Amino acid sequence: MNSKVSSEEQRLAPIRDKIDALDAQILELLTQRAQAAQEVGHIKGGFASPVFRPERERQVIAKLQETNQGPLLPDGIAAIWREVMSACRALEARQTIAYLGPIGTFSEQAAQTYFGHSIAGLPCNSLDEVFRAVEKGAAQFGVVPVENSSEGAVSRTLDLLLDSTMRISGELVLPIHHHLLTATGELNGVTTVCAHAQALAQCQQWLSEHAPHLKRQAVSSNAEAARMAAGDPSLAAIAGIPAQVAYGLQVVASQIQDDPHNRTRFVVIGHYACQSTGQDQTSLVLSVDNQPGAVHRLLEPLAKHGVSMNRFESRPARKGTWEYHFYIDVAGHAEDAKVSKALNELKAMAAFYKNLGSYPHSV
């Protein structure tokens, strides 16, 4: 060992001893926390009530972020306590979470980010299957994409939310970084690039500039594209790092999405109705009779009661007529006084009204 290394080791040793001692204390505290969660689990078991409480988990994280003095960043606090609560929750009952598979999709990453890693994942072949899995009780919750910052709404999810009996009980926003991947890390012999249609659209400028010769082929998911590219030297895939790792691919070019801030918003679907936390959002689907000014009038109760609208999206009602469903997110919980008044008035005016759920805003 040279003297530089040995002096570094000498200085590190006492700090590492301190870290070991702190870890032992953290483990002791985590053990006590896990035992408390087990007690909560026994009480809930007696009432046959749900294990996962998104509003409580959000409160725990928000309170810690408020009292945190640094140097840990708020995102770090959220990531650590999501995993802590995931492990504690699994002691009460491991939750099964359905998402669009196969393994390595952004949906899987979203499910693990939101629920932590102490879950049983249920990868599904389609968004329809995710909804069915939760409806039938094969999973307690599902995680589905609703909108992307570059490509807009995920229309199949909107249609399924409209027809489903399930509620939205949470949301999360995930940065989406796409990479060009092949089995060898090179493009020699590659003729076609595969990805989900949304990913191809999110990378279209980059592909036109840097790989105009590649044929573009839309497949059911980016992870499926990665799986295909792993076994076929004529294929490249566009996918994220989880898919690259899952299928043992090499990166040809990283971060090829046209918008560096590309993000996707996911919602958590299930049967659970969240209580108010003071930091909530409510998602609605509405339609109005086809009359001049009807949409404007419909939204008046929101302004009147000071409820802000976070999102407004329209989808054809799929009846062969020029009718639309409006997907609206408003700030607040449906049981908050002013939101409740606004929604009652809005419901009275709408030709169709469905509350998809009130849930805590993402932290």
Ligand X SMILES: O=C(O)C(=O)C[C@]1(C(=O)O)C=C[C@@H](O)C=C1
| Residues designated catalytic | 264, 266
For position 55 contacting ligand X by CB under 6 A, the verdict is no
Taking CB under 6 A as the binding criterion, the range among 54-62, 175-183, 265-273, 313-321 that sits at the site for ligand X is: 54-62
Q: Which residues in 90-149 contact ligand X (CB under 6 A)?
A: 92
Give the tokens for residue 4: 């530089």
Are the C-beta atoms of 266 and 298 separated by less than 8 Å?
A: no
Give the nearer residue to ligand X in terms of CB position, either 30 or 331: 30
For position 214 contacting ligand X by CB under 6 A, the verdict is no
* Minimum separation from the CB atom of position 187 to ligand X (A): 46
Q: What is 27-85 written as a DSSP string?
A: HHHHHHHHHHHHHHHHHHHHHT--S--HHHHHHHHHHHHHH--SSS-HHHHHHHHHHHH
Distances (CA, A) of 286 to 85, 271, 274, 294, 336: 36, 21, 21, 12, 20
Q: Which of 52, 115, 326, 327 binds ligand X (CB under 6 A)?
A: 52
Q: Which residues in 258-297 contact ligand X (CB under 6 A)?
A: none
C-alpha triplet 54, 279, 67: angle, nearest 5°: 85
Give the nearer residue to ligand X in terms of CB position, either 37 or 302: 37
SS3 assignment, position 59? helix
Torsion of CA 38, 67, 113, 200, to 10 degrees: 170
* Minimum separation from the CB atom of position 91 to ligand X (A): 9
Give the nearer residue to ligand X in terms of CB position, either 52 or 131: 52
Taking CB under 6 A as the binding criterion, the range among 49-57, 111-119, 154-162, 306-314 that sits at the site for ligand X is: 49-57
Give the tokens for residue 154: 């995920």
* Minimum separation from the CB atom of position 41 to ligand X (A): 6
If one counts every other C-beta atom within 10 angstroms of the C-beta of residue 354, the result is: 18
For position 57 contacting ligand X by CB under 6 A, the verdict is yes
For position 207 contacting ligand X by CB under 6 A, the verdict is no
Neighbouring residues of 205: CB distance < 8 A, sequence distance ≥ 6: 258
Spell out, one character per residue from 58 to 97, where the chain touches ligand X: x when CB under 6 A holds, - when not: --x------------------------x--xx--x-----
Give the tokens for residue 49: 């009530």
Count of residues interacting with ligand X (CB under 6 A): 11
Whether cis (ω within 30° of 0) applies to the bond prior to 71 is yes
For position 37 contacting ligand X by CB under 6 A, the verdict is yes
Give the nearer residue to ligand X in terms of CB position, either 60 or 253: 60
For position 179 contacting ligand X by CB under 6 A, the verdict is no
For position 56 contacting ligand X by CB under 6 A, the verdict is yes
* Minimum separation from the CB atom of position 112 to ligand X (A): 16
Give the nearer residue to ligand X in terms of CB position, either 112 or 262: 112
* Among candidate residues 73, 139, 59, the one with its CA nearest the CA of residue 107: 139
Q: What is 115-150 written as a DSSP string?
A: H-SSSEEEEESSHHHHHHHHHHTSSSEEEEEEEETT
* Minimum separation from the CB atom of position 116 to ligand X (A): 10
For position 53 contacting ligand X by CB under 6 A, the verdict is yes
CA distance 131 to 136: 9
Contacts with ligand X, residue ranges (CB under 6 A): 37, 40, 52-53, 56-57, 60, 85, 88-89, 92
